[in-house]
Amino acid sequence: MARPLFSQGWLRRNMTTVGPIVAAIAIIVGFQAVNPFFLSHDGMITLVYAMSYFLIAACGLTFVVMMGSFDFSVVSLLKLAALLCVLYMDKLGFLVIPLALIISTGLGFINGLFVARFNVPSFMATLGVSVVVEGAALYLSKGFLHIIYNETFRSLATTFIAGLPSIFYWAIGIWLISTFIAIYTPFGRRTYAVGGNLIGAGLSGINVERHRIYVFMLSGFLAGLAGVLYMAQLGGGSMLIGADMPIPLFASVVAGGTALTGGVGGPHRTLLGVIIITWIQAGMLMLAIGRDTQMIVFGLIALGMSVATIDRKRIKIIK
Amino acid sequence: MSSSLILRAEGIDKSYPGVHALDHVDFDLFEGEIHVLLGENGAGKSTFMKILSGSLPKDSGRITLRGQEVEILNPHHAWELGIGMVYQELSLIPSTSVAENIFLGRLPKRKPLGTVDWAETFSRARNILDDLGVDIDPRQRVRDLSMGERQLTEIAKALSMNVQILLLDEPTSALSEEERERLFHILRGLQEKGVAVIYVSHRLAEVPQIGQRVTVLRDGKKIGTLPVEQADEATLIRMMVGRELGEQFPKTEVPRGRELLRIRGLTVEGMLHDLNLTLHEGEILGIFGLLGSGRTPFARVLFGVDRMDSGEIFVDGNKVEISSPAEAIELGFGYLTEDRKEGLIPHLSIPANITLASLKQICQLGFLKHSEERQAAEKYVRELGIHTPKLHQRVEFLSGGNQQKVALAKWLCSRSKILIFDEPTRGIDVGAKAEVFRLMNDLAGQGVGIIMLSSELPEVLAMADRILVMAGGSFTAEFARGQGTQEDLMRYAVVR
């Protein structure tokens, strides 16, 4: 007997995979139809710049979400790392890059310490750290716009290879490594296990406390790396770096199919989520749609995606 | 029976993935009757109670209350219909007072602002408790109460809502003899006031003490309803198990090998007292204890989840310190938790769950070898007879018995020599039970030492080479295989 190619049950089971693909295609076709600039060469460069730093940070956040936690501090860590580069490049030279990465990783460690050791809910711990970091960034930058004049530093992100800027290759490289870690390493497996059932993971011999700290450190590290490369891309910045990032960033992880309940999804999915979110953002900019409308759109996307991916069976109590 | 029918359930049906929990069950209840619902673990008693109390939807069937068909939507709706449930896992809030728990969600209000009228709350709670003949201070916090007192608080809560049908799910499993007597006395008092009670139990001895009629469930089917006068123990056992115990749990004799584990003076202040035991290769050591006896805390200490205050543990004759599950696994321990969901990762596939405790073994240069993982999983799926449509099925979609086998496979994969089974047959059907026991036999035959923690007398008696009885955090008696009867064991298991 002939079976339909996609039965209804199949579609329902694979919604988190099919949904993002359909959405991404719809967005590309839609914007291209309205504005042919979208997929032109210059348009592509814009799109790639918009998504690359974003993808790096989103990969780190994905691990945290896979683990069933959340990291609100990603954008602040990105901002701090970016500002450290612009502020201290003159004094420290390229040493500023490892310094920025160590500091952001260290702050990730502090996130993890509060969550795993002191049992502070991750949204609160990371929000707290994020506010402290924002304060530090404001203190260091004095609120001014700072410009970076070191062309070698800028070339980290802006060298063109095969028609696309180097930051794109950084991002794809990080994405590939993240995907590999998630699927092919004990670290990745443990992350899924802790996200799927914290107690069961502990009873299977996983040092849950240590692992959670590691994941927050990874998230901090990738936030820092995204910040460094973003600064190389921009060539300067102020406290406003990443100002419109938080909700789109969270939405991109969820839109890819990594549910906030943890234990499912993974960085391989986050690429599509990032494409969907950042290209909507860029597309709207190209059409000169204002920030007001953008904010409304992204708020709604974040809410909608959360509803679509969350596993309601597993959440008995929402606090 | 002269009194009138208050509740009738017809053709109640309920399925979970892999388990037909209730198979067209009929049931009726008269005013002022105490109707015992008897059955083994997994017979469907709790599922039936949950459907009557509105916390689970039925798949099909009809429920009539005083002649009117009703659809019980949720627990709150059940209360409104006069059906009150006292749960096995108590639903009280430990950090609040007895009175607040009794009137939870319906605290008396004071006009005009709608603030809580505390004087009224405590005096009304006092009245309800007095009516029950219970001496509990309504201002006391629930966490300071004994298990028996909590149970009575639950009942007081049910009665405060003018309940006409009271559902009690294994109310005596955590109670002392004395508390049990008091509960029975109180139930008889309620009966005189016309309250009907459905009393769930798997204790045969309780049936004639408390009930007028008894209904036996087995594997989700109703086997029959009898007046208690006709329900002698032999009849009930036949109805409950359907076949001889020996046939159900075939035990093979295994020669006992060298000593694997020795525990001396294991103590956790206020919980476990001076526990001593030895376990040998090929031995199944049964530890029989009721709820609250300290079985699970003991297992958790042994597996490094919780700390002990004093005592010594020797593995293969060497003194060891176990301060985390990772260390316990390294020493060859495996722990199958009472609640399977606690030990498994439901979202992960069968292979991922099986290898979770031995990730290092399937790694090469720090990377997972998926091919080796698949081979290991295929091996255990075959050897343990795990029934699954595909190898990479998520374990959340497996039946209870198959989940239990995956949990076991995890410890076989990590090469456990000492396996702790905590209630190995909880919530799995009879066929799967027999298979779990067969696997325990096989493992013992391969020289694995097994500690079987259980509150199921027939299972412990049938499977264990040696039985320790646990009560109040101490071992109270030891029996060699074939020495003790159910009554002997039970006598030592009840806290005095």
pLDDT value of position A227: 97
Specify which of A5-9, B224-228, B292-296, B416-420 reaches the highest per-range mean pLDDT. B416-420
Is B475 strand, coil or helix?
Answer: strand
Let me know if residue A213 belongs to a domain. yes
Query: Does pLDDT of A255 surpass 90?
Result: no
Average pLDDT over residues A198-222: 96
Q: Residue A206 and residue B214: Cα distance in Å, rounded? A: 48
Q: Which domain holds residue A254?
A: 36-310
DSSP state for residue A38 in the 8-state scheme: G
pLDDT value of position B109: 83
pLDDT value of position A8: 62
Residues of B in contact with A196 (CB under 8 A): 345-348
Average pLDDT over residues A236-254: 89
Residue B359 to residue A196, Cβ atoms within 8 A: no
pLDDT value of position A318: 46
Q: In this complex, is the C-beta atom of A310 within 8 Å of any C-beta atom belonging to chain B?
A: no
Let me know if residue A18 belongs to a domain. no
pLDDT value of position B244: 47
Q: Does the bond joining A186 to the residue before it have cis omega, within 30 degrees of 0?
A: no
Q: Are B24 and B219 in contact (CB under 8 A)?
A: no
Residues of B in contact with A186 (CB under 8 A): 359-360, 363, 366, 368
Q: How many residues does this entry show for chain A?
A: 319
B107 or B292: which leads in pLDDT:
B107
Which uninterrupted H or E stretch holds B480?
Answer: strand B474-480
Query: Does pLDDT of A175 surpass 80?
Result: yes
Q: In this complex, is the C-beta atom of A246 within 8 Å of any C-beta atom belonging to chain B?
A: no
pLDDT value of position B108: 83
pLDDT value of position A313: 55
Q: Report the share of chain A in percent with pLDDT over 70.
A: 92
Tokens at residue A220, please?
A: 């901090």
pLDDT value of position B397: 84
pLDDT value of position B363: 86
pLDDT value of position B491: 78
- Mean pLDDT value across chain B: 86
Q: Residue B296 and residue B302: Cα distance in Å, rounded? A: 10
pLDDT value of position A312: 56
Residue B342 to residue A206, Cβ atoms within 8 A: no
Q: Would you list which residues of chain B are within 8 Å, Cβ to Cβ, of chain A? A: 303, 305, 324-326, 328-330, 335, 337, 341-348, 352, 356-357, 359-360, 363, 366-368, 370, 410, 414
Query: Hey, of B324, B347, B394, which one would you mutate to test binding to chain A, going by the most A CBs within 10 A of its CB?
Result: B347
Average pLDDT over residues A38-48: 89
Measured in angstroms, the CA of B366 and the nearest CA of chain A are apart by 7
| Local confidence band at B246 (pLDDT 50, 70, 90 cut-offs) | low
Q: What are phi and psi of B145, to 5 degrees?
A: -90, 155
A9 or B21: which leads in pLDDT:
B21
pTM, two decimal places: 0.77
Residue B368 to residue A189, Cβ atoms within 8 A: yes
Q: What is the pLDDT of residues B355-396, one digit of tens each?
A: 999 998 888 888 999 999 999 999 999 988 888 888 998 998
pLDDT value of position B1: 44
Is B415 strand, coil or helix?
Answer: coil
In this structure, the strands spanning B333-336 and B418-422 are: parallel
Residue A189 to residue B352, Cβ atoms within 8 A: yes
Residue A205 to residue B414, Cβ atoms within 8 A: yes
Query: Does pLDDT of A147 surpass 50?
Result: yes
Q: Are B148 and B183 in contact (CB under 8 A)?
A: yes
Q: What is the pLDDT of residues A258-297, one digit of tens each?
A: 888 888 889 999 999 999 888 888 888 888 888 888 888 8
Residues of A in contact with B346 (CB under 8 A): 196-197, 263
Average pLDDT over residues B97-114: 84
Q: Minimum mean pLDDT among A7-16, B22-31, B44-53, B408-417: which range?
A: A7-16
Q: Are A55 and A175 in contact (CB under 8 A)?
A: yes
Q: Are B381 and B403 in contact (CB under 8 A)?
A: no
Nearest neighbour of B357 by CB, restricted to A188, A195, A204: A204
Query: Does pLDDT of A211 surpass 90?
Result: yes
Residues of A in contact with B356 (CB under 8 A): 189, 193, 201, 204-206
Average pLDDT over residues B236-259: 70
Q: Are A245 and A79 in contact (CB under 8 A)?
A: no
Q: Minimum mean pLDDT among A48-62, B19-33, B35-49, B66-80: which range?
A: B35-49
Q: Are A183 and A66 in contact (CB under 8 A)?
A: no
Q: Are B83 and B53 in contact (CB under 8 A)?
A: yes
Residue B366 to residue A186, Cβ atoms within 8 A: yes
Measured in angstroms, the CA of A73 and the nearest CA of chain B are apart by 27
Let me know if residue A157 belongs to a domain. yes
Is B26 strand, coil or helix?
Answer: strand
Query: Does pLDDT of B475 surpass 90?
Result: yes
* Cβ neighbours around A45 below 10 Å, total: 15
Residue B352 to residue A192, Cβ atoms within 8 A: yes
pLDDT value of position B90: 65
Measured in angstroms, the CA of A181 and the nearest CA of chain B are apart by 9
Let me know if residue A149 belongs to a domain. yes
Let me know if residue A126 belongs to a domain. yes
Q: A105: Cβ–Cβ under 8 A, 6 or more apart, which residues?
A: A217, A220, A221, A224
Indicate the residue type of A137. Answer: A
b/e map B341-375, b = 16+ CB within 10 Å: bebbbbbbbbbbbbbbbbbeebbeeeebeeeebbe
Nearest CA in chain B to A264: B347
What's the CA angle centered on B275, arms B273 and B281, to 5 degrees? 165
Residue B337 to residue A185, Cβ atoms within 8 A: no
Residue B7's DSSP bridge partners are: B29, B65
Q: What is the count of structural domains for chain A?
A: 1
Nearest CA in chain A to B410: A204
Residues of B in contact with A183 (CB under 8 A): 368
Q: Report the share of chain B in percent with pLDDT over 90.
A: 37
Let me know if residue A134 belongs to a domain. yes
Q: Residue B13 and residue B5: Cα distance in Å, rounded? A: 22
Q: A307: Cβ–Cβ under 8 A, 6 or more apart, which residues?
A: none
Nearest neighbour of A203 by CB, restricted to B335, B348, B367: B335
| Local confidence band at A199 (pLDDT 50, 70, 90 cut-offs) | very high
Q: Residue A238 and residue A145: Cα distance in Å, rounded? A: 4
Measured in angstroms, the CA of A264 and the nearest CA of chain B are apart by 7
How large is the angle between the packed helices A208-234 and A186-196, nearest 10 degrees?
110
Measured in angstroms, the CA of B406 and the nearest CA of chain A are apart by 13
pLDDT value of position B63: 92
Average pLDDT over residues A203-216: 96
Is B390 strand, coil or helix?
Answer: coil
Residue B341 to residue A197, Cβ atoms within 8 A: yes
Q: HSE on the CB side for A147, CA within 13 Å?
A: 2
Q: Residue B450 and residue B280: Cα distance in Å, rounded? A: 9
A12 or B86: which leads in pLDDT:
B86
Let me know if residue A244 belongs to a domain. yes
Average pLDDT over residues A87-95: 91
Tokens at residue B245, please?
A: 């115990």
| Local confidence band at A316 (pLDDT 50, 70, 90 cut-offs) | very low
Q: Are B248 and B263 in contact (CB under 8 A)?
A: no
pLDDT value of position A19: 77
Query: Does pLDDT of B175 surpass 90?
Result: no
**Closest residue by Cα to residue A237 from A53, A47, A30:** A53
pLDDT value of position B13: 92
Q: What is the pLDDT of residues B278-337, one digit of tens each?
A: 999 999 999 998 777 888 899 999 999 999 999 999 999 999 999 999 999 999 999 999
pLDDT value of position B264: 94
Q: Are A250 and A61 in contact (CB under 8 A)?
A: yes
| Local confidence band at B174 (pLDDT 50, 70, 90 cut-offs) | low
Average pLDDT over residues B412-417: 92
Q: In this complex, is the C-beta atom of A13 within 8 Å of any C-beta atom belonging to chain B?
A: no
Residue B348 to residue A201, Cβ atoms within 8 A: no
Q: What is the pLDDT of residues B193-215, one digit of tens each?
A: 889 999 987 677 788 888 899 99
Q: Minimum mean pLDDT among A255-264, B221-230, B249-258: which range?
A: B249-258
Query: Does pLDDT of A110 surpass 80?
Result: yes
Q: Residue A55 and residue A69: Cα distance in Å, rounded? A: 19
DSSP structure string for B244-310: -HHHHS--------SEEEEEEEEEETTTEEEEEEEEETT-EEEEEE-TTSSHHHHHHHHTTSS--SE
Nearest neighbour of A203 by CB, restricted to B325, B366, B367: B325
Measured in angstroms, the CA of A48 and the nearest CA of chain B are apart by 31
Query: Does pLDDT of B173 surpass 80?
Result: no
Please report the number of interchain residue pairs, chain A to chain B, with beta-carbon separation below 8 angstroms.
79
DSSP state for residue B334 in the 8-state scheme: E
Q: Which of residues 151-190 of A touch B (CB under 8 A)?
A: 183-186, 188-190
Q: Minimum mean pLDDT among A94-108, B226-240, B263-277: which range?
A: B226-240
DSSP structure string for B417-429: SEEEEESTTTT--
**Closest residue by Cα to residue B332 from A211, A205, A186:** A205
Query: Does pLDDT of A3 surpass 60?
Result: no
Evaluated on CA atoms B48, B51, B52, B58, the torsion sign reads: negative
Let me know if residue A197 belongs to a domain. yes
Residues of B in contact with A207 (CB under 8 A): 324, 326
| Local confidence band at A1 (pLDDT 50, 70, 90 cut-offs) | very low
Q: Residue A319 and residue B363: Cα distance in Å, rounded? A: 39
Average pLDDT over residues B80-100: 82
A36 or A207: which leads in pLDDT:
A207
Nearest neighbour of A197 by CB, restricted to B305, B335, B344: B344
Q: Residue B293 and residue B471: Cα distance in Å, rounded? A: 4
| Local confidence band at A72 (pLDDT 50, 70, 90 cut-offs) | very high
CATH number of the domain residue A172 falls in: 1.10.3470
Query: Does pLDDT of B487 surpass 80?
Result: no
Residue A184 to residue B367, Cβ atoms within 8 A: yes
DSSP structure string for B219-246: TTEEEEEEEGGG--HHHHHHHHHSS-HH
* Residue labelled with tokens 């255990």: B380
Distances (CA, A) of A268 to A60, A74, A134, B213: 12, 19, 30, 61
Q: Are A127 and A246 in contact (CB under 8 A)?
A: no
B410 or B94: which leads in pLDDT:
B410
In this structure, the strands spanning B68-70 and B60-65 are: antiparallel
Query: Does pLDDT of B469 surpass 90?
Result: yes
> ipTM of the assembly?
0.85
Q: Residue B337 and residue A152: Cα distance in Å, rounded? A: 58
A55 or B145: which leads in pLDDT:
A55
Measured in angstroms, the CA of B109 and the nearest CA of chain A are apart by 26
Average pLDDT over residues A199-213: 95
